[in-house]
Structure 1
């Protein structure tokens, strides 16, 4: 049974049912909100956003780690009808400018820095006008839609509001206006936008409605058997659906406590789980590996853990077994999907055998259709035959923001979302992901589209041509390899190229391997054979063992 409810109304409903239960716990900061307190803070922040003149459907971008302001903003914007645009914390100037311009965001919330990258310096580089303008009055040559920049810090910054300014404005703003705006929202309205790489080069804004993500959160919670007694440790980033749908929204849908980790660190995760007696733990495989291998792991009391989700990239069988046996997460589930499907399509259940939980990605959620088709003919295929996985139902995105042609390439006229992933289905309805039609690279849960890196590397004055492929890696699943042709008469070193990338594109997109080549393997018709580049590189770099472990 699907629910037709907005995110704001869902929070109000849960706060009414469980007013005194803990909603948000930041162990690192000693911060705790009950559901009634969290509801009040979100209402105040919603009024603050309204006081800035932000209209229903306006895009509000947030560029931050899992800080408390992030989760408050998620529910506050949902209450006043602003569309939350999530920004990857690893983005650099090039990517940030693209996202803000393409999304037509009118407001940006940001922290000061992350991993030695100054967000303040980067936004000032794009918008030097900030130094001269009053807060809320930005007129940027490069970002014509951006008006408000809100700094999630304590020190006053030129041209920016502080978060406390927003909250103070929220005190003064009439709550009747907030109530009226919240009542005017429709469950089918777009309320969340996440940028993802897909079938064409640059990231596209995936438009998700209340119905999309509320119902997906409910289904994800059901598969873990979450309820109001659970405490969910969320070390995965909020800017992905894993964090802000499967994590925060699934918790609110059930009355469970959200226990976020501000930025992933295995020791901090273990500290938080142990101190807060978390019952559920989320992560991509590399996170679980880091936790299992941490020097303090043998001394930890993780006996409170019962369930959780491992997702984001293929889950190695041995890692899954260790999570069950060593961490004691007996009901751990595997989830599969993509941003365009809100995000989960299939998930294992706690009563599935360990064999099913380590060799498949589970079966379809209730209310979701899944089929395997022949990519060439579109015909449905029988069990056991590999083809492209397609899905249909409430979970399919509204489309890509301002990209109707790209939307039409992935959602067909019958409403089926074509994932681009190759899979098989067994006679019991369990799926195995076997490969990808598209050449997207998935590194440690991050989707990387080769063309985006190629387009950037083309801007180097000495690069004649570049082809980017993924090569196997035991830790991250895949790494980025760039095969470079240098312009005649020029010399280029690996160090020079890496220095060119530093600070301009996200670190996870910077090639791990660089090969200088004179030509590429080609088909008779002149098309470059990327699969051969990959095969040659695996042999040359001695990576055949890296991909030698089995996954679901």
Structure 2
């Protein structure tokens, strides 16, 4: 009897000590689980919090060192094939070319930490520049190749890009002409040195072209700038590049304003690459058909870094996504793995049903970038004749991947979850008040660990809004965390639209459309689309003097000013917007209006 009284007094004492020091209820429960199982047994609260410790430890290494290790281990093995450019590199030959790019960038006068923009599709100069920047201690900045003048201008100014790498043209884009419009001084510059009033930080433009373009260096010129001794110095430089320092900037989406610039570290890149590669069972015999854009977090981490960690080969079928080129590349290059977004797989399946190519070597597809329906998973597996279909789930701010399928997952787990929590990542799900909910309950997913971004560049307020003092990163996703470590996405708390893997924020489109002379007010939402996941739908209220405005007229108005994927697929005229009493637009009612009209048609 006395013993039981002492235990009760002890429990109350430690409970008060813990509460006084600000420990949350989850800590109390874990404490009492160990100290007094009988007390906790009657409590129904099981906090949705997990920390998955992986078998492979985290490594403290920068990207340049990771590439050196790969070259030493897999030297003569093929590293990357660019089918459309007819270029091939082994790991050793790639390292040599990367160091030429690194030494060339430093020869231009760039300093450690400077930003190098890469505005290009999936060409070899993209890969060489990204790796070269990392080896030189510079920070690469991935920029969507579909961006038009105002969008690229914003990116260059936002992160103070000092050197910009790009092709001369791609599809209908003439990159040089676009740059001339926002940086007219380039036409009067020489030796690749620019002094711009509009872009004061931009000092160099390097273009992958055989044409001599005024004020720009060619990419071949960049590779030829350095001496053998300067290239050898790049290897010595690696020990001075801190893994915790910035390696890459990814422009990400938000609910308001312009895109934010997430800064990712070498440590983020290297470790997520290792754990993604391990989970997908990549090895030196794996050959990955790369359909995803390299500028995206999927392409640069889940694809490039994962392949490098395991000595796998990358195959670039085309500069941009082309289902026919992808299928032929799988056959010709004997690809074993396919990377793509759900939208890409929809098109790939359609083309394969048409061509019926013998995809004998392919055995696994990895899908990510947007939600994938169970039926699409089955179609990928059956139509493409694959043994395995896996998914990755994450966000740019978490270095692309925080949940992922595991070897041996059941079809139920593959079809109905986003996979299992990534190695060495901590996750919890909270309610609107910040309290951790129980396993199986819906709330906002928060994560913490090695994969979390360093910051939003030059945006302390947004950084603090996303990452708390306790280092938990709020994802903005409505999520259900299961006790077995698997998770399910219920919806998104943010208004972000995901169209075919492209993140789109409505306000930018709204602000642009509101400049149209006939438009009084615009509000943009994402609406369901079987192929793209979501499409952009603009509700527009016209000025009283205007009669009507068609989608084709809006498309023409946006030409050369908005990336094609941001131009609304649907335009719905509206007399008055539904609002709350405080004047806020009720976008969920706009979606209801669209669904009613869509069904009526």
State TM-score, norm by structure 1: 0.96
Out of 303, 323, 331, the position equivalent to 1:274 is 331
- Name the residue aligned to 1:124: 180
Supply the distance in 2 between the matched residues of 1:323 and 1:350 (Cα, whole angstroms).
18
8 A Cα contact 1:331 1:351, kept in partner: no
- Name the residue aligned to 1:88: 144
Supply the distance in 1 between the matched residues of 2:575 and 2:217 (Cα, whole angstroms).
52
For 1:340-351, list aligned pairs within 5 A.
Answer: 340-351=397-408
Supply the distance in 2 between the matched residues of 1:75 and 1:103 (Cα, whole angstroms).
19
Moved more, 30-39 or 84-93: 30-39
8 A Cα contact 2:84 2:316, kept in partner: no
- Name the residue aligned to 1:411: 467
- Name the residue aligned to 2:428: 371
- Name the residue aligned to 1:474: 530
- Name the residue aligned to 2:231: 175
Deviation at 1:60, TM superposition (A): 0.2
What secondary structure is seen at the aligned counterpart in 1 of 2:388? Answer: coil
Structural RMSD (CA)? 1.5
1:151 aligns with 2:207: yes
What secondary structure is seen at the aligned counterpart in 2 of 1:542? Answer: helix
Deviation at 1:306, TM superposition (A): 2.2
Out of 42, 63, 77, the position equivalent to 1:7 is 63
What secondary structure is seen at the aligned counterpart in 2 of 1:25? Answer: strand
Moved more, 458-467 or 215-224: 458-467
Supply the distance in 1 between the matched residues of 2:78 and 2:352 (Cα, whole angstroms).
31
1:392 aligns with 2:441: no
Deviation at 1:325, TM superposition (A): 2.2
- Name the residue aligned to 1:359: 416
Supply the distance in 1 between the matched residues of 2:227 and 2:220 (Cα, whole angstroms).
11
- Name the residue aligned to 2:566: 509
8 A Cα contact 1:49 1:170, kept in partner: no
Question: Unmatched 5+ residue regions in structure 2?
Answer: 1-56
**Deviations 1:526-552 (Å, cap 9, x if unpaired)?**
2210000111012112399xxxxxxxx
Seen in structure 2, the aligned counterparts of structure 1 residues 289 and 490 have a Cα distance that, compared at 3 Å, is closer
Seen in structure 2, the aligned counterparts of structure 1 residues 297 and 188 have a Cα distance that, compared at 3 Å, is farther
Supply the distance in 1 between the matched residues of 2:517 and 2:346 (Cα, whole angstroms).
40
- Name the residue aligned to 2:510: 454
Supply the distance in 2 between the matched residues of 1:107 and 1:483 (Cα, whole angstroms).
39
State TM-score, norm by structure 2: 0.88
Out of 474, 489, 499, the position equivalent to 2:556 is 499
- Name the residue aligned to 1:548: none
8 A Cα contact 1:441 1:469, kept in partner: yes
- Name the residue aligned to 2:126: 70
What secondary structure is seen at the aligned counterpart in 2 of 1:33? Answer: strand
Supply the distance in 2 between the matched residues of 1:543 and 1:50 (Cα, whole angstroms).
61
Supply the distance in 1 between the matched residues of 2:352 and 2:338 (Cα, whole angstroms).
19
What secondary structure is seen at the aligned counterpart in 1 of 2:438? Answer: coil
8 A Cα contact 2:98 2:129, kept in partner: yes
Supply the distance in 2 between the matched residues of 1:8 and 1:243 (Cα, whole angstroms).
18
Supply the distance in 2 between the matched residues of 1:163 and 1:296 (Cα, whole angstroms).
40
Supply the distance in 1 between the matched residues of 2:531 and 2:260 (Cα, whole angstroms).
28
Out of 153, 163, 166, the position equivalent to 1:97 is 153
What secondary structure is seen at the aligned counterpart in 2 of 1:49? Answer: helix
Deviation at 1:113, TM superposition (A): 2.3
- Name the residue aligned to 1:22: 78
- Name the residue aligned to 2:39: none
- Name the residue aligned to 1:533: 590
Supply the distance in 2 between the matched residues of 1:330 and 1:369 (Cα, whole angstroms).
30
Question: Unmatched 5+ residue regions in structure 1?
Answer: 545-552
- Name the residue aligned to 1:258: 314
1:200 aligns with 2:256: yes
8 A Cα contact 2:195 2:203, kept in partner: yes
- Name the residue aligned to 1:547: none
Supply the distance in 2 between the matched residues of 1:250 and 1:536 (Cα, whole angstroms).
44
8 A Cα contact 2:352 2:383, kept in partner: no
**Deviations 1:167-203 (Å, cap 9, x if unpaired)?**
1113466235423433321000101001011243210
Supply the distance in 2 between the matched residues of 1:143 and 1:492 (Cα, whole angstroms).
39
Moved more, 239-248 or 305-314: 305-314
What secondary structure is seen at the aligned counterpart in 1 of 2:302? Answer: coil
Supply the distance in 2 between the matched residues of 1:129 and 1:449 (Cα, whole angstroms).
32
What secondary structure is seen at the aligned counterpart in 1 of 2:226? Answer: helix
Deviation at 1:297, TM superposition (A): 5.3
**Deviations 1:356-389 (Å, cap 9, x if unpaired)?**
1011101111100111110x21111112211111
8 A Cα contact 2:327 2:352, kept in partner: no
Deviation at 1:29, TM superposition (A): 3.1
> In the comparison of the two structures, how many residue pairs are matched?
543
What secondary structure is seen at the aligned counterpart in 1 of 2:161? Answer: coil
Deviation at 1:303, TM superposition (A): 2.0
Deviation at 1:463, TM superposition (A): 2.2
